[in-house]
Chains A and B, each alone.
Chain A
Amino acid sequence: EPEVTQTPSHQVTQMGQEVILRCVPISNHLYFYWYRQILGQKVEFLVSFYNNEISEKSEIFDDQFSVERPDGSNFTLKIRSTKLEDSAMYFCASSEGGLEFHEQYFGPGTRLTVT
Chain B
Amino acid sequence: DQQVKQNSPSLSVQEGRISILNCDYTNSMFDYFLWYKKYPAEGPTFLISISSIKDKNEDGRFTVFLNKSAKHLSLHIVPSQPGDSAVYFCAAVNNAGNMLTFGGGTRLMVKP
Residues of A within 8 A of B (CB): 4, 6, 31, 33, 35, 42-45, 48, 55-56, 58, 91, 93, 95, 101, 103-109
Known A42-B105, A58-B99, A103-B34; further 5 A-B contacts with Cβ < 8 A: A42-B102, A45-B100, A48-B97, A48-B98, A104-B46
**In the complex with contacts A43-B89, A101-B93, A107-B100 CB distance below 8 A:** no
Residues on A with C-beta less than 8 A from B98 are: 31, 33, 48, 55-56, 95, 101, 104
Inter-subunit contact A91/B44 (CB<8 Å):
yes
In the complex, which residues of chain A have a beta carbon less than 8 angstroms from the beta carbon of B43? 4, 6, 91, 93, 106-109
- The smallest beta-carbon distance between B61 and chain A, in angstroms, is 18
- Closest B residue to A104 by beta carbon equals B100
- Chain B: residues with CB nearer than 8 A to chain A? 32, 34, 36, 41-46, 49, 51, 89, 91, 93, 97-105
Residues of A within 8 A of B49 (CB): 103
Q: Tell whether, in the assembled complex, residue A44 and residue B102 are in contact, meaning their CB atoms are under 8 Å apart.
A: yes
Given A103-B34, A103-B49, the answer on whether A45 and B99 have CB atoms closer than 8 Å is yes
CB-CB < 8 A to B101: which residues of A? 45
A107–B98 Cα gap in the complex (Å)? Answer: 17
Q: List 27 A-B contacts (CB under 8 A).
A: A6-B43, A33-B100, A42-B102, A42-B104, A42-B105, A43-B89, A43-B91, A44-B102, A45-B101, A48-B97, A55-B97, A55-B98, A56-B97, A91-B43, A93-B43, A101-B51, A101-B98, A103-B34, A103-B49, A104-B46, A104-B98, A104-B100, A106-B43, A107-B43, A108-B41, A109-B42, A109-B43
